[in-house]
Amino acid sequence: MCGIAGYFGDVQPETKGRALLGAMIGAIRHRGPDGFGVLAEDGVGLAHARLSIIDLAAGAQPMASADGRLEITFNGEIFNYVELRAELVASGHRFLTHSDTEVILELYAAMGPACVERLNGDFAFAIWDRSRRTLFAARDRMGVRPFFHTTRNGVLWFASEVKALLAVPGVSAELDPIALDQIFTFWFPLAPRTAFRDISELPPGHTLIATPSGVSIRRYWALDYPDAADADGLDQRPETVIAGDVRALLEDAARIRLRADVQVGSYLSGGLDSSLVTAMARNEVSERLRTFSVGFESPEYDEAGQQIEMVRALGTEHSSIVCTAADIGRAMPDVIRATERPILRTSPAPLFRLSGLVRDSGFKVVLTGEGADEVFAGYDIFKEAKVRRFAARNPSSAWRPLLLQRLYPYLPRLQNQPQAFLQSFFGRGAEDAGDPLFSHLPRFRTTAGAKLFYSAEMRQNLAGYSAMDELRSLLPERFAKWHPLSQAQYLEAGHLLPGYILSSQGDRVAMAHAVEGRFPFLDHRVVEFASRIPPRLKLRSLREKHILREAAAPLLPKTIANRVKQPYRAPEVAPFVGAAAPPYVADRLAPGAIGASGLFDSVAVGRLTAKVARQGEVGFKDNMAFLGVLTTQLWLDAFAPSAASAQPPAVAAA
């Protein structure tokens, strides 16, 4: 895991290019503090900050191919590099190192851009092909590793984080109002858009080719599901056989993700997913496995009991931290600088602190259970959509909406809500049943409550724009033919996972402490296999991840294998109110600061701030609105402080 940066185009003189590369990679040195390298020559520059994990002695970058024709800067890991290297050696390729980086170079030499189809890994890389005067870049299928780019004066600039691009003269941090509107709808901007105007991200599963005649981007992989009416497209084998194959695939995915020349640890939350990953890893390593977890003061969020149960069952050496509300409040400015976007949840902050614990413990790599809920249908939103469809078939039923209370036993405030509230909040009306976003409408509408606090200028600039309409326009052509569960899974795995979870809760907060997360559930073989599992085996009645639970049963205690999903959450508003509130909260939410940024209505924000101060934790909508406004102000402080005196820019065409 590393940080990469570079350019393609005319940057003269060469010494200027080297200086800029040094500034860019210096801005993201936290991603790779173990070594730095720069290559600058006519028309191209590559830079690298290394986190040494594989071939510690000979894996420095930028790295040249054995014949000197190619150079690469690479962020990530190729987990099947051992098998690929053996194939390449057998076909006559010569290697100078034992690194996975060199495997990419030789595979590209053999296959060209099609090499990405053979890679099993989490990656973002750029290859300079001297003979063709071409820059080839790629990002992994699920979007685990980031790749940002922009063009200035005919030069393409790219990097692992936007901070590196901001080191380039002429590249400035300006908030994109459409991106903010998307964040205030989905929790993330729709790729390739980022929070920064005129700075894009390469979408997951895409490649980029830059030549003297221009830049082209193409998709090489897409998340897909069989048509609901296509029985032949689904795996019709017995459930026990499918469960066995799921277990075997996951065991292999975990095995190859333990490949490293440093010790690998594991996150252990106490839930099914991380417990299964940890159990599989424990069975593969000879030494005692090291595990890490985060807990909370409030029982509403804490899972320490389940974590300890798994530690005892597996015999791991365990370390944990308790994250207080004050810890979250103190960390939030650093979290926003890491995420590089406003956020509407505090969940990244405890993970930011947890990765600090991992690094302080001498570890660089951890396995995590991320991705299981998206791939095997574990989130409550999937069950919620199923109940809402059931209720919509009989709109006059008084008891069907009450089933929604059963889905959220960990939300005590929801249990006390009257029936009318449940009907309104979850939008159970039959009129929504045909909307392709049906499964997520309650979430999107709740999140969009933050838009009530826009300033008049922002409202005017966004007039006529609909974030949900844009998302609808981006859905695959075959989306309408998929099973409703597959549609909901696509929205989670194809958008929320790379857009928020793997970025704001994943790569960005972990790599802020030079910690690499590895995700067995996101092995593309697992993802593709799971897409063909019949929906009834993923969500059986209201039992989430049914087939995964069956696959995990031989490896876990029954209490863990059968435990109802408790989503990872953290205190939302408590860290920012009361005597312990950090001073920056009052400063950034003061009427003068709100008015100066021009993004929000200072009077409306003042009323919300007073409400939060009186009540503490409030409803979902107000919680997210409060955090959205606060973290947007923190984003401006971190990246565009001059915007505090500017009005919001006009919106460009979507």
Between these two residues, 567 and 517, which has the higher pLDDT value? Answer: 517
Per the structure block, which two tokens stand in for 87? 């194939």
Q: How far is CA 636 from CA 149, 448, 631, in A?
A: 20, 21, 9
413 has a pLDDT exceeding 70:
no
> What structural domains does the chain harbor?
2-219 (3.60.20.10), 238-436+475-565 (3.40.50.620), 574-645 (no CATH)
**Strand ranges for 283-372 from DSSP E:** 290-296, 317-323, 365-367
Q: Which residue has the tokens 């597959």?
A: 486
Whether residue 77 has pLDDT greater than 60: yes
Range 314-318 average pLDDT:
95
Assess contact for 20 and 159: CB atoms under 8 A.
no
- Asked which of 165-179, 405-419, 491-505 is least confident by mean pLDDT, the reply is 405-419
Decide if pLDDT at 547 tops 90.
yes
Cβ contact 247:271 at 8 Å: no
Amino acid at 498: P
In degrees, rounded to 5, the angle at the alpha carbon of residue 182 between the alpha carbons of residues 177 and 187 is 125
Could you tell me which of 375, 304, 321, 351 has the C-alpha nearest to residue 566?
A: 304
d(C-alpha 211, C-alpha 9), whole Å: 9
Kindly state the greatest CA–CA separation across the chain: 74
* pLDDT confidence of residue 617: 74
Confidence of residue 300 (pLDDT cuts 50, 70, 90): confident
H and E: helices and strands count for the chain: 28, 17
The pLDDT assigned to 232 comes to 87
- Residue 370: φ, ψ to 5°: -60, 145
The whole-number pLDDT of residue 644 equals 53
Q: What does the pLDDT read at residue 61?
A: 96
What does the pLDDT look like over 613-644, one tens digit per residue? Answer: 988 778 889 999 999 999 999 999 999 887 65
Q: 247: how many CB neighbours lie within 10 A of its CB?
A: 19
Q: For residue range 317-330, what is the model confidence (pLDDT) as tens digits?
A: 999 999 999 999 99
> Model confidence over 502-529: pLDDT tens digits?
999 999 999 999 999 999 999 999 999 9
Specify the pLDDT at position 303: 86
- Would the pLDDT of 647 be above 80? no
Q: Please calculate the CA angle 308-538-404 and round it to the nearest 5 degrees.
A: 80
Confidence of residue 580 (pLDDT cuts 50, 70, 90): confident
- Mean per-residue pLDDT, 2-18: 92
Give 254-297 pLDDT, tens digit per residue: 999 999 999 999 999 989 999 999 999 999 999 999 999 999 98
Name the residue among 210, 204, 199 with its Cα closest to residue 222. 204
Tens of pLDDT, residues 185-208: 999 999 999 999 999 999 999 999
Q: How confident is the model at residue 342 (pLDDT cuts 50, 70, 90)?
A: very high
Residue 99, pLDDT above cutoff 80: yes
Q: What is the mean pLDDT of the chain?
A: 93
What is the structure's pLDDT at 423?
Answer: 61
Of all residues in the chain, the percent with pLDDT exceeding 70 is 92
pLDDT at 441 over 80: yes
Q: How confident is the model at residue 654 (pLDDT cuts 50, 70, 90)?
A: very low
